[in-house]
Amino acid sequence: MSSLDLHVDGYLDHLKVEKGLGLATIEAYARDLAHFARYANEHGGDLADIDTATVSGWLVSLSQGGLGARSQARYLSSLRGLFKYLVAEREIARDPTELVDAPRLPRKLPAVLSREEILRLLDAPDDTKPSGVRDRAMLNLMYAAGLRVSELVTLELGDVNLEAGFVAAFGKGRKRRLVPIGAEARAHVTRYLGEVRGRWAKPGERGLFVSPRGRRMTRQAFWKIVKRHTRGAGIAKKISPHKLRHSFATHLLQGGADLRAVQTMLGHADIATTQIYTHVTGDHLQAMHARFHPRGS
């Protein structure tokens, strides 16, 4: 047994005894690290000889063996844990994984609703009932402003200026941003405030959207609202409240909105986060090009 194998065994004991990890998790670490130990032993693998080139070569071998980027990243994460432990135990002076970049993971494109599906969903609540009036206001406002669920349910009365047509959303890190809202959303929120909220809200409640019990709506309650009205609109896609935000961004870009403007409205600190939506709109742009460019088809 090589010195590396012994250290792997010691690390696994550490995870079991001191970290209290479950058997299945430890077995997963053991498989990942055993794979690296075999590679290192085949390439002259005493612990002292392992360097950044060894780790990089191992990742290349994983890729050549057909392992996907996500699995490679998991293997590397297991190895980082081992070497972090060995540095802490003063078995080695430097972590050889420190300068190794994790494999680039493919970004999962957000699922979105079509414009027709969005309209069906927004019109699904029965607005002859107080709950339907509230639900229409919530759905329309969320889609109109591209709000996160947490932003929607934490809105207070003073956060929506219906006369000027904007909503003040508080995003991650409590960063405040102003987002314009159109006439349709304003009309639904105005009706909700005039017909429903005053009857339901308990004295002193500042939340904009409330339940019949008079208290602020929760994320869980709104998720159920979206699920119920999705079924009612006959939409077969599996959707969550966040998909209204994805749809908001996608539809703006499809309509020709500036990427920086969409970034601002979404409250993204990094434009790279917003750029994911440019991939979603790729098919739309290709169709537009084929339709209108003289040499498009």
Q: In angstroms, rounded to a whole number, what is the distance separating the alpha carbons of residues 286 and 87?
A: 52
Burial 139-159 (b: 16+ CB within 10 A, else e): bbbbbbbbbbbebbbbbeeeb
Whether 148 sits among the annotated catalytic residues: the reply is yes
Which residue in 31, 94, 107, 172 is the catalytic one?
172
Count, residues in the chain: 297
CB contact at 8 A, 55 and 94: no
Which residue in 11, 143, 192, 277 is the catalytic one?
277
Which residue in 74, 191, 227, 242 is the catalytic one?
242
Whether 120 sits among the annotated catalytic residues: the reply is no
The amino acid sitting at 201 is A
Closest among 114, 86, 113 to 98, alpha carbons compared: 86
Which residue in 177, 219, 268, 284 is the catalytic one?
268
C-alpha 235: how far from chain center: 22
Tokens for 229?
């009205």
Whether 268 sits among the annotated catalytic residues: the reply is yes
CB contact at 8 A, 169 and 155: yes
Whether 188 sits among the annotated catalytic residues: the reply is no
What is the CA angle 39-45-51, rounded to 5? 90
Which residue in 7, 35, 148, 197 is the catalytic one?
148
CB contact at 8 A, 193 and 207: no
3-class DSSP state of 160:
strand
CB contact at 8 A, 95 and 83: yes
Whether 172 sits among the annotated catalytic residues: the reply is yes
Straight-line distance from the first to the last Cα atom of the chain, in angstroms, rounded to the nearest whole number: 65
The dihedral built from the CA positions of residue 139, 140, 145 and 146, taken in this order, carries a sign that is positive
Whether 90 sits among the annotated catalytic residues: the reply is no
Tokens for 52?
């950044």
CB contact at 8 A, 139 and 223: no
Which residue in 7, 188, 245, 246 is the catalytic one?
245
Catalytically active residues, by annotation: 148, 172, 242, 245, 268, 277
